[in-house]
Structures are given as structure tokens and as C-alpha cells.
Amino acid sequence: MINLIALCLILFGLFFFIAGSIGILRLPDIHSRLHALTKADNLGLGFLALGLILLSGDIFIAAKLLLAWLLVIASSAASAQLIAQRARRRERDVWKI
């Protein structure tokens, strides 16, 4: 039963990664691409970590996976903001807004 739930969670996480990858390839500009990318990082990795936590059944491994997820969330949120800020500055320079 636990295995089945874990499998579903991991598949759900993979769906976000696939969607994020397609988004990066298909979306037209940098801001919407960042949007797709951060969804993959946050939700995709979150569901993946949750599924792996269920599979591992060890509190220390669970804590490590949770920490890894939190670190990825923080770094992806921060880097997405930085890239977006930089892009906006450049757009402003180009279009003289």
C-alpha cells in the first residue's frame, strides 16, 4: 500500500518535471520559462522527495531529503528572482521604458 502511494507521488513529481522541461523548451520569453522551471523545482522535487521518504521509512533519510528539498526551493526561488530582475533591467534598457 505504502509502495503504491509512493509510486503515485513519484509519478506526480515526474509529471511536474516533464511539464517544466516542455515549458522551458516551448514558452516564448524568459519570465514564463522561469515560471515553468520553478514549478518543476518546487512541486516536482517536493512530490519526488515525499515519495522517496515514504519508501525509505527512515527518519534521518527523511530529514535529509526534506532538507535537500528546502535548499533547492530556496536557491531556485532566489536565482529565479535574480534572473528575472536582470532580464527586466535589460528590457527596460532596450525599450527605454
Partner 1 sequence: MENIAWSAFDVLLIAATLSLAWASLTTEHLRRAVIFFIAFGLLLSLIWLRLKAPDVALAEAAIGAGLTGALLLAAVADHQKPINKKPDQKFSLADFVANTFLNLLFIAFAIVFGAAYTFALNEVNDSRLTDIVFQHLPGTGVTNPVTGVLLDFRAYDTMLELAVLLAAALGVMAIGKTRRDFVKPGDMERGLSQWLIPTLIILSLYLLWAGANAPGGAFQAAALLAAAGVVMRLTGYVDGGLPQGIWLRVLLVSGVGGFLLVSLIMMFAGRIYFDYPESWAGSLILLIESMATISIAATLVVAYLCGQPDTWFGGQQKENKHAD
Rounded Cα–Cα distance for residues 97 and 88 (Å):
10
CB of 72 to partner 1, least distance (A): 12
- Which grid coordinates are listed for 81? 528572482
Q: How far is the CB of 63 from partner 1 (least distance, A)?
A: 11
The C-alpha angle with vertex 50 and arms to 49 and 54, in degrees rounded to 5, equals 115
Q: Which of residues 32-71 bind partner 1 (CB under 8 A)?
A: 71
Which of 11, 26, 78, 88 is close enough to bind partner 1 by CB under 8 A?
78
> What does the block give as the cell for 92?
527596460
The binding site for partner 1 (CB under 8 A) comprises: 71, 74, 78, 81-82, 85
